[in-house]
A and B are shown apart, each in its own frame.
Chain A
Amino acid sequence: MPAAFEISGLRVVYPSRLGPVHALEGISLQAEDGEFISVLGPSGCGKSTLMKALAGLLPPRQGSIRIYGEPVRGPAPGVGIVFQSAVLMNWRTVLGNIMLQVEVQRLDYRAHLERARDLIRLVGIEGFEHHYPFQLSGGMQQRVSLCRALIHDPPLLLMDEPFGALDALTREMMNLELQRIWLDRRKTVLFITHSISEAVFLADRVVVLSRRPGRVQAVAQVALPRPRDLATMESPDFVRIVGELRRELQAHGGLG
């Protein structure tokens, strides 16, 4: 079994009118199949860039990226993406938004309709299939975008601060739900966040990026047993790892 993804020597420089912006430098990172990796780092250090590179959305860059052994040259089919905002289409219902992927890639519509209903049940928004995004709360919208990312059963799920726009309570609940879904489906996940405790709570491994240009500055293994619950957050191991990561981040200028 090849690694879920394998990034080596990735370097991304954006051209811009004010001169080139050096976003990532010498990133090497591997994920095992089914591994949950959280990424922390100061704002503007290139976390989103890392995700876009994995999704095959960036123009030529230096270094190599493979997903399950396949080199990434353009948009990669085996990837699902969730952004900070739900980016739902106002003109489509919940079901229509989830099925977008299926329509665009011309997959078997009927078979995926069943999957969509399954996923809707999995994330707990049954009954809202025919509602429009504006009729949903932020948390529900983000659940829809999670369904959309999972509809084509991609082995790799990329999440860019997916719960950043939610209030603290909803966010905690979404973390529990995401863990449950992940235990159920066993995707490989790259999860970008600004919250240290969220990163630790969810991950098998937490990667810390340095200030721009982003490099891998530290990696923390999280061996806490699963399923984790809110009590886990008070366990000595959890508190210790969070503390270490906070010191690591502050040593290099904080999460700023």
Chain B
Amino acid sequence: MYQDEKAPPLPMDEPEEDAPARGVRRRGVDFLYPVVFLLVLIAAWEAAVVWLRVQPIVLPPPSAVVRSLLDDWSYLLWHAWITGAEVVLGFMASALLGVPAGILVVWSKTIERTLMPIFVTSQTVPKIAIAPLFVIWFGIGLFPKVLVSLLIAFFPIVISTSVGLKAIDQDMLDLIRSMNASKWQVFQKVRIPNSLPFIFSGLKIATAFATVGAVVGEFVGADKGLGYVLIVSNSMLETPRLFATLIPLSLIGVLLYAAVVKLEKMLIPWDVAVRGEERMVSM
């Protein structure tokens, strides 16, 4: 953990006792805002579909989606596990490869000159175009989905890591150099801890990318997973189930994102983004 061990816990989740009465949002009710907003949207959707007599095949009312969700929940859950595993594996692989790749690129100019053009070019190739190739090479199992997910999520992690490693104040570099630090010590003591907030913003972006990657992998060749359910429901014009499938799918992305945020709070409580607001004592 990148925090001094003997430090007392930071007052992060403490409610403000002496906060001014007005203009303060209570953390406990924060989640109500999007929930109420969504409920209003859903109600409007239901009303519009009923009044305008829209065909359920084109746009089912939310009630039909909920019914489908309740009818098929065990079926959807089973497929959600598959997709969830692909997303998590793809995400972890991209983090495990992306962070070291970002470090290597900053460590050595030669490596940067060799790898960076390859990374950038590979980014311009649409993954959806390579995905069928993976089906030919690796079949329709778990691996090709993880691979597509990895390929998509890898890049933002490499970039954010290398940006974070380079974003050091010149005075800070002079300071550590004046201590006669070795190149490795400069990385260990300054560059890597400094890059952690950047790495975490890369990881957050990567959670969404990894989810997209797994679904794309399932679109081009699969016999299970939520992407497969989407394709099947689509071809059978079961539009309510198409919508119902989106719910566990977005839940996977949201849960992974929440896990990354949790890890961030644990590892870098000193970061401004984590703290949210400045707390200062003066003399």
A residues touching B (Cβ–Cβ < 8 Å)?
52, 55-57, 74-77, 79, 81, 83-85, 87, 89-93, 95-96, 100-101, 103-105, 124-125, 128, 130-132, 134-137, 139-140
Residue B119 interfacial (CB < 8 Å): no
Q: Please encode chain B, from 181 to 196, with 1 for each CB lying within 8 Å of some chain A CB and 0 for all others.
A: 1000100011001101
17 pairs of residues in contact across A and B, judged by CB atoms under 8 Å: A56-B178, A75-B177, A77-B180, A79-B178, A81-B178, A87-B175, A89-B193, A89-B194, A91-B196, A91-B270, A103-B189, A105-B180, A131-B7, A132-B270, A134-B275, A136-B280, A140-B283
Residue B17 interfacial (CB < 8 Å): no
Q: Is the CB of B4 within 8 A of A85?
A: no
**B240-283 interface with A by 8 A CB criterion:** 268, 270-272, 275, 278-283
How far is it, in angstroms, between the C-alpha of A61 and the C-alpha of B175 when the chains are bound?
Answer: 20
- Number of A-B residue pairs at CB separation under 8 A: 93
Q: Which listed residue, A56, A87, A100, touches B189 by the CB 8 Å rule?
A: A100
Min Cβ gap A146→B in Å is 13
Q: Which listed residue, B176, B194, B196, B283, touches A104 by the CB 8 Å rule?
A: B176
Q: Is the CB of A104 within 8 A of B185?
A: yes
Chain A contact residues, majority secondary structure = loop
Residues from chain A with Cβ under 8 Å of B175 in the complex: 81, 83, 87
Given contacts A90-B271, A130-B6, contact A135 B176 (CB under 8 A): no
For chain B, the bracket of interface size reads 35 or more
How far is it, in angstroms, between the C-alpha of A137 and the C-alpha of B281 when the chains are bound?
Answer: 6
Q: Is the CB of A55 within 8 A of B4?
A: no
Most chain A beta-carbon contacts within 10 A, residue among B172, B268, B278? B172
How far is it, in angstroms, between the C-alpha of A84 and the C-alpha of B174 when the chains are bound?
Answer: 13
Q: Is the CB of B7 within 8 A of A135?
A: no
Q: Is the CB of A131 within 8 A of B281?
A: yes
Given contacts A81-B178, A132-B10, A136-B280, contact A90 B270 (CB under 8 A): yes
Q: Which listed residue, A75, A92, A136, A140, touches B179 by the CB 8 Å rule?
A: A75
Residues from chain B with Cβ under 8 Å of A105 in the complex: 179-180
Residues from chain A with Cβ under 8 Å of B280 in the complex: 134-137
Min Cβ gap B268→A in Å is 7
Q: Is the CB of A85 within 8 A of B171?
A: yes
- Chain B residue nearest to A75 in the complex (CB): B180
Residues from chain A with Cβ under 8 Å of B181 in the complex: 104
How far is it, in angstroms, between the C-alpha of A95 and the C-alpha of B268 when the chains are bound?
Answer: 18
Residue B8 interfacial (CB < 8 Å): yes
- Chain B residue nearest to A86 in the complex (CB): B171
Q: Is the CB of B178 within 8 A of A75?
A: yes
Residues from chain A with Cβ under 8 Å of B10 in the complex: 132
